[in-house]
A = this chain, B = another copy of it.
Amino acid sequence: MPSQPAKNLETFPNPHPNNNYSIRFETNEFTTLCPMTGQPDFAQLTVEYQPAERCLESKSIKLYLWSFRNEGHFHEDVTNIILNDMVAACQPRWMVITGHYNIRGGIDFIITARYDKP
Complex Cα distance, B76 from A19, in Å, reads: 11
CB distance from A21 to the nearest CB of B (A): 3
Complex Cα distance, B2 from A72, in Å, reads: 9
User: Within the oligomer, what is the number of copies of this chain?
Assistant: 10
Complex Cα distance, B104 from A66, in Å, reads: 14
Residue A16 at the B interface, CB < 8 A?
yes
Indicate if the CB atoms of A40 and B29 lie closer than 8 Å.
yes
Residue A22 at the B interface, CB < 8 A?
yes
Residue A91 at the B interface, CB < 8 A?
no
Q: In the complex, how many residues of chain A place their beta carbon closer than 8 angstroms to a beta carbon of chain B?
A: 56
Show the binding face of A for B, using Cβ within 8 Å. 1-2, 14-16, 19-29, 31, 33, 38-40, 42, 48, 51, 55, 58-59, 61-62, 66, 69-72, 74, 76-77, 79-80, 83-84, 102-116
Complex Cα distance, B40 from A2, in Å, reads: 10
